[in-house]
Structure 1
Amino acid sequence: MKEIVNTTEMYLRTIYDLNEDRVPVRQSRLIERMHQAAATVFHTVTRMKRAGLVSIAEDNLIELTDPGSIRAIEVTRKHRLAERLLTDVVNMPTTLVHGEASRLQHVMSEEAERRIVDLLGGPTTSPWGNPIPGLEHFGITVESTVAATKLADLPESTLPVAGVVRSISEHAQSDPELIRFLVNAGVIPGARVTIRPNGKSYAVRGLDEIELPKKLAHIIDVDCTSTSSNISAFN
């Protein structure tokens, strides 16, 4: 039963992440992100549909139901609070916290969440700049965040452009090689970057210049109205 619960929570969080990235949620995307066989994904999604956690639209889009959304927010909140605890208190390198938090999210109680929130003074974002959802459950009012645009949504007519990285998506964090690639280049939350188109890629310069394929342009949110930077929090 515990394995089923953990699997369901991972799927719920992955669907939440896809929605956050504004990527259409279909079984093909879950196969890609969960690194599971098509049959496994089909059976898991079918089980979640029977449980009332997801619905499947006529165009095969997978959508969270109201109960599914509540649970997805809860597990995402646990995950991102665990990441903050690991970076802010345990001093774990930022590149390692995603995997560890993915394990802790399944065993963290609501009381533990509440104590982490109190201990850290009510954090509102993960170490990677992603908003921690559902904090109103603990009486925290989240002020509006700084406007940011996904790299994928920047009109090419506005490029090249300078801006500040606001967040790196969970998709990138789950790929150790990709996240090290970004960190080593200084393409991290708070860092000032310049962006220019380069064929099927974007040339993104932080400390060094990297080529980011356009198919991964959803992983970075950038604020092109600011030029401040702060990279000292990253290890």
Structure 2
Amino acid sequence: MLKRLLRDHLVTLDGKKIIRLTPEGLRRAEQMVRRHRLAECLITDVLKVPWWQAYEEAHLLEHGLSDVTEPSLFETLGRPERSPFGYPIPGHGAPPKLTMITLTDIQEGEQVTIDRVFEEDEQLLKFFDEEGIRPGVTVRLEAVAPYRGTVTAQIAGRSIVMGTQVASRIWVNRSK
């Protein structure tokens, strides 16, 4: 694969074996991410496939979007700026700075808003879906139990206990 990427001038490889995308490589990578995230929007918003299944299903659709259909899909979906999982859709100018703060980084009693969730684990997404853990939802951290490896978060008036590994897959914005 690396030989093909080098051959097609999509990456460079320096003397220290560091791989970097070329401008064309970056353009194509952003295009694929854009198509994938638009496919996620199509799958959840129009086709009404369950949210937790959208990531995997989008992999099947993203390769079928062309330079002709992608702009029409973007317009049909209402020009979305974020995927259903909270990730920015490339093509809106400079990419926004993403928060790196997770639910495990905040203090007990702090209230935050979910920015995005890890999207590459269908079982984890199913848990998030069942518990109402989605971008835009307000969360208050009730308790941290480091020796148990859990946190308790309040969402929509319910207390949800989850492992710190799960909580580290939920990126949040602090309330202002």
Interval containing the TM-score (normalised by the shorter chain)? 0.7 to 0.9
Equivalent in 24, 35, 40 of residue 78 of structure 1: 35
Structure 1: any 5+ residue segments left out of the alignment? 1-43, 137-141, 227-235
**Contact kept in structure 2, 1:185 and 1:210, CA below 8 Å:** no
SS in 1 for 2:47: coil
Rg bigger for which structure?
2
* Structure 2 residue 94 is matched with structure 1 residue 111: no
1:184 corresponds to: 130
Say what the alpha-carbon RMSD is for the aligned residues. Answer: 3.0
| Equivalent residue number for residue 165 of structure 1 | 114
Which of 158, 161, 174 is the aligned partner of 1:209? 161
Q: Relative to structure 1, is the Cα distance of residues 213 and 62 closer, same or farther in structure 2, using a 3 angstrom cutoff? A: farther
Whichever structure has more helix as a proportion of its residues is 1
Aligned length: 169
Deviation at 1:152, TM superposition (A): 4.8
| 1:194 matched to 2:151 | no
Q: CA deviation at 1:150?
A: 2.1
Report the residue type matching 1:64 in the other structure.
Answer: L
Provide the TM-score with structure 1 as the length reference.
Answer: 0.61
SS of 1:223's equivalent in the other structure is strand
Aligned 1:42-53 pairs, distance under 5 A: 44-53=1-10
Partner of 1:131: 88
Q: Is the 8 A contact 2:103 2:170 kept in 1?
A: no
Deviations 1:186-230 (A, max 9, x none): 22111122346543856252342211328x73x43211115xxxx
Residue 61 of structure 1, CA deviation: 4.8
* 1:150 aligned residue: 100
Q: Which ranges in structure 2 are unaligned for 5 or more consecutive residues? A: none
TM-score by length of 2: 0.78
